[in-house]
């Protein structure tokens, strides 16, 4: 890449989640302080503006986490969130040095209650799924970046099957 710090290339790796699934995870998030409370989308809203207002109420720092201006200062790459413990770790293991000090094993700490997808109205509304996905991609830098990056040479750790499928020009019956 072209961005360097003391002649060392700088890359930022952005984990990309499915926009709707990520939105619904944010809607499900509640903080003990009450700063964030669980939200329901207004799938039965009278107007699109009312509906999209309910979408924005779910945002948990999504506009503060990523900004296109980062691309001016860093080589920004993406990886599929679902592949973070597969191809992405393989990619990193080829590039990072072993740690000098071993740490204790990582213990995952859930930050969100389990979701009840059956109660999430958006999954029953294909029209809202499409409108919401487009809204997120066009109005939130993070989702727009991920939409533009996934499936390109800037995606890190694509599964081998995906890479082979992309390069395969044969047509199977």
pTM score, whole prediction: 0.80
User: Which residue in 64, 58, 65, 29 sits closest to 42, CA to CA?
Assistant: 58
Note whether 73 and 148 are within 8 A (CB).
Answer: no
Question: pLDDT confidence of 172, banded at 50, 70, 90?
Answer: very low
Residue 157: alpha-carbon gap to chain centroid: 15
Give the Cβ contact number of residue 65 at 10 Å. 12
- In tens, the pLDDT along 30-80 reads 988 888 999 999 999 999 999 999 999 999 999 998 998 888 888 899 999
- In tens, the pLDDT along 95-149 reads 777 777 777 887 877 778 889 999 999 999 999 999 999 999 999 999 999 999 9
Q: Are strands 75-80 and 8-9 parallel, antiparallel or unpaired?
A: unpaired
75: β partners: 11
């Amino acid at each position: 890449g072209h961005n360097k710090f003391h002649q060392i290339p700088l890359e930022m790796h952005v984990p990309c989640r499915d926009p709707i699934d990520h939105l619904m995870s944010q809607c499900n998030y509640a903080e003990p302080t009450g700063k964030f409370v669980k939200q329901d989308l207004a799938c039965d809203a009278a107007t699109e503006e009312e509906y999209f207002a309910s979408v924005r109420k779910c945002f948990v720092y999504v506009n503060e986490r990523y900004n296109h201006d980062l691309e001016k200062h860093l080589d920004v790459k993406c990886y599929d969130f679902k592949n973070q413990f597969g191809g992405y770790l393989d990619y990193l293991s080829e590039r990072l040095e072993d740690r000098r000090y071993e740490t204790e094993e990582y213990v995952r700490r859930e930050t969100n209650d389990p979701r009840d997808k059956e109660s999430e109205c958006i999954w029953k509304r294909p029209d809202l799924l499409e409108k919401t996905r487009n809204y997120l991609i066009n109005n939130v830098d993070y989702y727009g970046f991920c939409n533009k990056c996934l499936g390109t040479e800037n995606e890190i750790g694509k599964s081998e099957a995906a890479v082979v499928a992309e390069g395969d020009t044969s047509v199977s019956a």
